[in-house]
Amino acid sequence: MALPPGTTDEAFLREVDEEYRRDQAMQIFRRYGRLIIGAVVVALLAFAGWLYWQHHNQSQAGKQGEEYDAAMRLVEQNQADKALPALNKIATSSGEGYAVLARLAQGNLLLQKNDAKGAAAKFAEVANDAKVEQPYRDLALLRQTVAEYDSLKPQVVIDRLKGLANPNSPWLGTAGELVAAAYLKAGNRAEAGRLYGQIAQGGEKVPESIRQRAVQLAGVLGVDAIDQSKETKAK
């Protein structure tokens, strides 16, 4: 294995007497010369392979970034039919970063085309992929739930998103609204009101538009979220 940058034989051998070092080096080389040369060659080959791997990954990431940007320009130009195949190429590549973004973009496009089932399937791929970083999985789970919402039983929505609809979650606003609506559909007005109250007090992690809706809905359900929200801002 190659030594880390800044660590050299010279720095180590500086502490050893020059004559002793030379004699010892010669004896070691006579005895183990071929092994040492072989080890150095192997280490250099391994290091060269690592450098190539790094360069290849960076090149691929750059290429995928350009392809992703081109696909998103097609989306902006309302050319979804051309964008979807381009995104599919990126989504099926070996690079995890842009591949995940491409799958999420595919799901969004399918949802815009009213293909809720196809969109949910794309989002589910990301949400259930253990290799994907958690924030992307959480976002995909939310989008999947939005796509499937009308066909899901309230308890399924509650169970699926309850972990994201808590005061410490960055997804409190969006997930909270979905869960609170599910509580209402299930006839549980008390839990819905409590959750709307928490959303109203969510502070900066909840968009202002969602907080305002939550204040109104909490009030309808008998929760005084207006005063609580003011207290939170005052702190």
Per-residue pLDDT tens digits for 8-36: 455 444 444 455 555 555 554 455 445 44
Per-residue pLDDT tens digits for 163-211: 999 999 999 999 999 999 999 999 999 999 999 999 999 888 899 999 9
Per-residue model confidence (pLDDT) at position 82: 78
Per-residue model confidence (pLDDT) at position 184: 93
* 25, two tokens: 């080096």
Residue 222 burial class via C-beta count within 10 angstroms: exposed 0-12, middle 13-18, buried 19 and up: exposed
Q: Which residues contact 176 (CB under 8 A, 6 or more apart)?
A: 165, 195, 196, 198, 199, 202, 206, 214
Answer left, alpha or beta for residue 203, where phi above 0 means left and psi between -120 and 50 means alpha: left
24-38, 72-86, 146-160, 221-235: range with lowest mean pLDDT: 24-38
pLDDT band of residue 86 (cuts 50, 70, 90) is: confident
pLDDT band of residue 105 (cuts 50, 70, 90) is: confident
Determine the Cα–Cα distance for residues 97 and 58; give it in Å rounded to an integer: 12
pTM: 0.65
pLDDT band of residue 151 (cuts 50, 70, 90) is: very high
Residue 41 has pLDDT above 50, yes or no: no
Closest CA to 28 of 16, 37, 18: 37
**Domain positions in the chain:** 152-235
% of the chain at pLDDT higher than 70:
66
Cα 206–208–214 angle (5° rounding)? 75
Question: What is the mean predicted confidence (pLDDT) over 54-77?
Answer: 64
Tell me which of 85 and 178 has the higher pLDDT: 178
Residue 155 has pLDDT above 90, yes or no: yes
